[in-house]
Chain A
Amino acid sequence: MDVSTGERPAADASVDLAAIRAVYEDHAADVFAFLARRVGRDLAEDLLADTFRVVLESYGSYDAERGAVRVWLFGVAANLLRRHWRTEERHLRALAHLGGQRPTALDPLLTVPDRIDAESESARLLCAIAELDPDDREVLLLRCWEELSSADVAAVLNITPGAVRTRLHRIRTQLRAAIDDVDTTHPEGTTR
């Protein structure tokens, strides 16, 4: 939004569509993969389109010195993802309220424990990931699945690189503890 006027610039002729198209061709596949891994293909297409609408809107204010365009794109996409979940959660809460039921988890990761072969090591690790704090899970998956550097993860999430390192340390501890706990409690590989 243009703060001086409060107006949202439309995608008019002043927008350098060719430049944005180049950005799209360079990065859309990666951003789509990031989104699809989290919400599935159809929704990922919608969110990718939304991401580039934001780019269209604000490309003029993009400051290359503040980070690579790829990081900027992931940041926009991550915010839209969170917004989507918040919106759907509210929506589901309202539905659940009307129906007297508990809302369903939206992040597909959170439904993992209900869907997987719970006896595999991968399943136990996924359960542990699903139980992470959502912000921590974002850090973990951006780092491990999207292979962003800690500095880039920090830029995407608007936190400090130190905070990323701190969280990764905490995440590893939690994952290790969760898996060790299962191993200790169920030495034969059965789960809780």
Chain B
Amino acid sequence: MNELRSVRRLRPEVEPWDDSRSERIWAEITGMPAASSPPAEPAELEPALVFSLSAGPERSRRPLLAVAAAAVAVIGLGAVVGVRSLGNTADQPAPAAQPTASPPEVDSEPAATDAPSTPFEDDVVMVLPEMPDGLKVLSVTPPSTRREESVTQRLLYGAADDPGDPARMIAIEFDPNGLAPIPCHSFTSMPDPAGRADDIDPAAWQSAATPVDSSTSFTAPSDGTESLTPGVTGAACVGANGLAQAGWFASGAAIGLTGGDAVGTEFLVDLAHSIHVTDIDTIEVTTTSLTYDLMPLVTHDVAYINEITETAWIASDATMSEVEREQAAAEGRPVDEPGELAVRTWYGGGDAALYAIATPIGAERITVRGQPGYRYTGPGEVEVWWAETDDLVVRVRSSNLYDADALMALIDQLQPADSSDLTPATTRSD
């Protein structure tokens, strides 16, 4: 059967678009009186909503989101980022005229009583009531959605008895185009592409992959008794970060595994044999009997379709502008690496966002503002992320600025605000 044609035949008919409806809605949009305003139609049951089937459910007019008056008193990011408050945050211009029907009475109540589902809208941002001395906001990214799907997909596994334990997590990175670097392999033998970087031939890329000296090779049995494509060879190793890794190409795809602190290379090799490519953009793990169960999250679909709204701001202690730094470097004068504080919010990702905004593998599990979160500490860098509510995940990164304790103290001060009230710096505050 032609499925798409069958679906097309199911397209429901809608009422004809007529002049009176057109004028009435136009008047609602512009706030101007309609040329000939017909009386508002009486509230009535919808016609069959989608299909010519039995009568559809009665639908009320669109309830207006009544965010409880969570008027968070936010002073603003000093003189640099001005913030007013979190109010009713539907990100549309003030409507010239609201629908005549009253919204359901229940609108204004429940969200505020459901604590984990704090009624943040997708344009919420976390801000400091006062900017620390010497710090200036460099950039503000207003709410935006991802424009492209990620090429690489990521599946994250956790231990069945404690899925959030980063030490026992395993990440599977998967690029169906086969052009991603894979762990435990060097690509230095890859000649420079003749054209653009995305003109690289996958076959040339994959044949250039050379297992690093410290790795251990593994090969799937050629009799097909393993899920790993027969004859496929991969390599496992302990990476520079001390974590076990494995990588291989199969069915034209690039696959990489990384385990947490408690995961060894032998375990990853065992797991590798249970992974196979099932479609052009999916992989399957044929067994989860290795005491690991799939965590309820992950893959690029969580993060890269128009489901997650991201807002961010970055502050720095730089005393020189980018241009001044470049000039100083060119003249041989000392140039300090400026410190940075970056605060990023993801709204709408659900439970998965906590794991998708950053990989917990290699991080420490902590409680942040009373909520589950993780902290990664590297040279000159501290990164903390947590689920502020069911729908809001926050990630704060400090580079060359704060140690872990100082950053945690700063995080405790963060407050939610409406990002539409966030204005980027136009002048220095000092």
Interface residues in chain A, defined as those with a beta carbon under 8 Å from any beta carbon in chain B: 1, 3-8, 10-11, 17, 21, 24-25, 28-29, 32-33, 36-50, 52-54, 56-57, 78-79, 82-84, 86-88, 90-91, 93-95, 97-98, 108-109, 111-112, 115-117, 122-123, 125-126, 129, 133, 135, 140-141, 143-145, 147, 157-160, 163, 166, 168-172, 175-176, 179
Q: Are B15 and A3 in contact (CB under 8 A)?
A: no
Q: Are B29 and A170 in contact (CB under 8 A)?
A: no
B306 neighbours in A (Cβ, 8 Å): 78-79, 82, 135, 157-158
3 nearest interchain CB pairs? A6-B423, A94-B110, A29-B17
Once A43-B61, A166-B280 are accepted as A-B contacts, the answer to whether A125 and B301 lie under 8 Å apart by CB is no
B225 neighbours in A (Cβ, 8 Å): none
Q: Are B110 and A98 in contact (CB under 8 A)?
A: yes
B113 neighbours in A (Cβ, 8 Å): 94, 98
CA distance A141 to B8 in the complex (A): 8
Is B410 positioned at the interface, with any CB of A under 8 Å from its CB?
no
A91 neighbours in B (Cβ, 8 Å): 63, 65, 106-107, 110-111
Once A116-B53, A125-B7 are accepted as A-B contacts, the answer to whether A93 and B117 lie under 8 Å apart by CB is yes
Question: Closest approach, in angstroms, between the C-beta of B56 and any C-beta of chain A?
Answer: 6
Q: Are A53 and B49 in contact (CB under 8 A)?
A: no
Q: Are B149 and A116 in contact (CB under 8 A)?
A: no
CA distance A100 to B85 in the complex (A): 32
The 8 A CB mask of B195-234 against A (1 = contact, 0 = none) is 0000000000000000000000000000000000000000
Q: Are A84 and B62 in contact (CB under 8 A)?
A: yes
Q: Are B146 and A39 in contact (CB under 8 A)?
A: no
Is B370 positioned at the interface, with any CB of A under 8 Å from its CB?
no
CA distance A40 to B60 in the complex (A): 10
A42 neighbours in B (Cβ, 8 Å): 43, 46, 59, 61, 101
Q: Are B99 and A46 in contact (CB under 8 A)?
A: yes
CA distance A1 to B140 in the complex (A): 12
Interface SS of chain A: helix, strand, loop or mixed?
A: helix
Q: Are B114 and A158 in contact (CB under 8 A)?
A: no
Q: Are B62 and A175 in contact (CB under 8 A)?
A: no
A to B CB contacts below 8 Å, 11 in the list: A42-B61, A46-B61, A46-B99, A50-B95, A56-B93, A57-B92, A57-B93, A87-B63, A94-B117, A116-B53, A126-B10
Is B11 positioned at the interface, with any CB of A under 8 Å from its CB?
yes
Q: Are A33 and B14 in contact (CB under 8 A)?
A: yes
B8 neighbours in A (Cβ, 8 Å): 144-145, 147
Give which listed residue, B12, B50, B424, contacts A3 with CB less than 8 A: B424
Q: Are B305 and A53 in contact (CB under 8 A)?
A: no
Q: Are B3 and A172 in contact (CB under 8 A)?
A: yes
Once A94-B117, A176-B3 are accepted as A-B contacts, the answer to whether A40 and B107 lie under 8 Å apart by CB is no
Q: Are B46 and A93 in contact (CB under 8 A)?
A: no
Give which listed residue, B10, B28, B93, B147, contacts A122 with CB less than 8 A: B10
Most buried by A among B29, B47, B94, B111: B29
A175 neighbours in B (Cβ, 8 Å): 3, 6-7
A145 neighbours in B (Cβ, 8 Å): 7-8, 11
Is B26 positioned at the interface, with any CB of A under 8 Å from its CB?
yes
Give which listed residue, A10, A39, A141, A171, contacts B93 with CB less than 8 A: A10
Q: Are A32 and B17 in contact (CB under 8 A)?
A: yes
Known: A24-B29, A28-B26, A95-B106. 8 other contacts (CB 8 A): A6-B140, A6-B420, A11-B93, A25-B22, A40-B47, A45-B24, A46-B61, A135-B307
Residue of A nearest to B27 (CB): A49
Q: Are B50 and A41 in contact (CB under 8 A)?
A: no
Give which listed residue, B29, B119, B391, contacts A52 with CB less than 8 A: B29
Question: Closest approach, in angstroms, between the C-beta of A80 and any C-beta of chain B?
Answer: 8
Question: Closest approach, in angstroms, between the C-beta of B423 and any C-beta of chain A?
Answer: 3
Q: Are B93 and A53 in contact (CB under 8 A)?
A: yes
Question: Closest approach, in angstroms, between the C-beta of A87 and any C-beta of chain B?
Answer: 5
B3 neighbours in A (Cβ, 8 Å): 125, 171-172, 175-176, 179
Q: Are A43 and B62 in contact (CB under 8 A)?
A: yes
Q: Are A5 and B348 in contact (CB under 8 A)?
A: no
CA distance A84 to B301 in the complex (A): 20
Once A53-B93, A91-B65, A97-B114 are accepted as A-B contacts, the answer to whether A108 and B4 lie under 8 Å apart by CB is no
Question: Closest approach, in angstroms, between the C-beta of A37 and any C-beta of chain B?
Answer: 5
Give which listed residue, B4, B21, B62, contacts A168 with CB less than 8 A: B4
CA distance A28 to B59 in the complex (A): 22
Give which listed residue, B30, B82, B281, B301, contacts A17 with CB less than 8 A: B30
CA distance A87 to B113 in the complex (A): 16
Q: Are A95 and B424 in contact (CB under 8 A)?
A: no
Give which listed residue, B26, B56, B57, B62, contacts A24 with CB less than 8 A: B26
B305 neighbours in A (Cβ, 8 Å): 135, 157, 159
Once A54-B92, A143-B4 are accepted as A-B contacts, the answer to whether A36 and B15 lie under 8 Å apart by CB is yes
Q: Are B6 and A125 in contact (CB under 8 A)?
A: yes
Question: Closest approach, in angstroms, between the C-beta of A44 and any C-beta of chain B?
Answer: 8
